[in-house]
Every structure is written in C-alpha cells, then in structure tokens.
Amino acid sequence: MYEYELQQLRTADLIRRADHERLVREAGRARRTARSAAAQNSAEHESHTRGFRRTRSARAA
C-alpha cells in the first residue's frame, strides 16, 4: 500500500510539472508573437524615415 501511495504522489508531481512547463512554453510563445507583431508595426512606420548614419572609421593605434 505504501508503494502505491508513493507512485500516486510521483504521478501527481509529474502532472503538475508538465502543466507548469506547458504554461511556460505558452507564455514564451505569446511573448514572441507579441514582440514579432510589435516589430512589424514599428518597422513599418520607421522604414520611411531617414536616419542619421554615422560612418565608422578605423581605430587609431
């Protein structure tokens, strides 16, 4: 009986861990999607502006 209870606890723990990992993956996927959408929106507006580009010169020795 004791071994059965330990197995039940282990099973419940594995299910909790799997649920947590699933939530973490979903949150990461949602963040990536939001970042991607924000980048597309901002790139769309900024693509027509002329930005100041500084030319790089070689470092002095």
pTM for the model stands at: 0.56
Mean pLDDT, all residues of the chain: 85
**Mean pLDDT computed over 9-33:** 97
Q: Which residues of 22-60 are buried (b: 16+ CB within 10 A; e: fewer)?
A: eeeeeeeeeeeeeeeeeeeeeeeeeeeeeeeeeeeeeee
The confidence band for 22, taking pLDDT boundaries of 50, 70 and 90, is: very high
With a cut of 60, say whether residue 23 has pLDDT above it.
Answer: yes
d(C-alpha 16, C-alpha 27), whole Å? 17
